[in-house]
Amino acid sequence: MSQRGGKKIVIVKKKVTGGGGHHGGSWKVAYADFVTAMMAFFMVMWILGMDDRTKSAIEGYFSNPVGYRKGYGAGSSPVAVGSAPTNIQRTPLRLVVRANEQKTFEHVRERIMAKLAANDSLAKFNADVEVVVTREGLRIELIESGAGDVFFPNGSARMNAATALVLQLVGAELSTLSHPIVLEGHTDAARFSADATYTNWELSADRANAARRVLETAGVGQGRLVEVRGYADKRLRVPDDPTAPSNRRISLLLPFTDVPDGVGDDAPTTDPTIAQRDSILSGLARQ
């Protein structure tokens, strides 16, 4: 302290120091850690509150994000009842094709049965025709009854009038479809000839071939008749009675379309099976 002109001069020194305690920035780091921990806690609680299907979807997304699409659906979360991210998976193309063909075959079956029932000539012939949708596809069978000579004479591939009539009626309905057709011939286990060179194998195949020729004249294109099979007596309708007349029959099979796994299911545009998928879808659109 000094004096100037009789006045006392006061010098005040202020010491500036760094802020401590709550005046510093370290609390921000701790607060961020706390918020992060709380967010993780609520995420865990939210996921635990979801159903098993949604949990599987989340697990699948992190395992294979490419195979999932983003969507939203209501969840049962204890935190929020709003939008919950979930996955939207396309229905596999093979299931779509199968459902469409199942419906188509059922309609064709109804039309064929109605047309056969309305034909008085078939009632006179006492022709037994079965039309069913099986696991293989649409199966139409001309089944022998009575003496076993309604559709073909015993031991002969010469077609009777009832056979030609049934095949023409059936062929007219099948001509509106695009499915391939497999023809099968079946016989019973009886030996009809002493000639060892012409057996039930040749007879069953010849009868199936005779049916093929009638279908072609009824409007079924040759390109759709993909196989002619002769089974002889190896696929008996009545195994307990190998010589029963109903074992003799002609079968028309329209198989379900076999779609390989993965075709059309979010496949990349460079996938060579895309052309096959488009071909299948185009066929469905024409039905």
Range among 7-11, 49-53, 75-79, 222-226 rated most confident: 222-226
Provide the whole-model pTM: 0.61
Residue type, 286: R
Please, is 18 exposed, middle or buried when counting C-beta atoms within 10 Å of its C-beta (0-12, 13-18, 19+)? exposed
Nearest to 230 by CA among 189, 188, 185: 185
Whether the pLDDT of residue 267 is over 80: the answer is no
In 32-113, beta strands by DSSP E: 70-74, 83-87
Type and span of the H or E element at 1: none
Q: Where in the chain is the domain with CATH 3.30.1330.60?
A: 94-255
Summarize pLDDT for 168-207 with one digit per residue, the tens. Answer: 999 999 999 999 999 999 999 988 666 778 899 999 999 9
**Cα distances (Å, whole numbers) of residue 224 to 43, 181, 283:** 58, 6, 13
Q: What is the mean pLDDT of the chain?
A: 79
- Which DSSP string do the residues of 93-149 spell out, in sequence order? HHHHHHHHHHHHHHHHHHHHHHHHHT-HHHHHHT-EEEEEE-SSEEEEEEE--TTS-
The pLDDT value recorded for residue 279 is 54
- Domain 94-255 classification at class level: alpha beta
Whether the pLDDT of residue 85 is over 60: the answer is no
Whether the pLDDT of residue 14 is over 90: the answer is no
Residue with structure tokens 């015993």? 154
Summarize pLDDT for 86-129 with one digit per residue, the tens. Answer: 444 555 777 888 889 999 999 999 999 999 999 888 888 888 99
Summarize pLDDT for 205-254 with one digit per residue, the tens. Answer: 999 999 999 999 998 988 899 999 999 999 999 999 999 999 999 999 99
The pLDDT value recorded for residue 50 is 76
Whether the pLDDT of residue 15 is over 50: the answer is yes
Summarize pLDDT for 16-72 with one digit per residue, the tens. Answer: 665 555 556 678 888 888 889 898 888 888 877 777 777 777 776 676 665 555 444
Residue with structure tokens 């779609």? 259
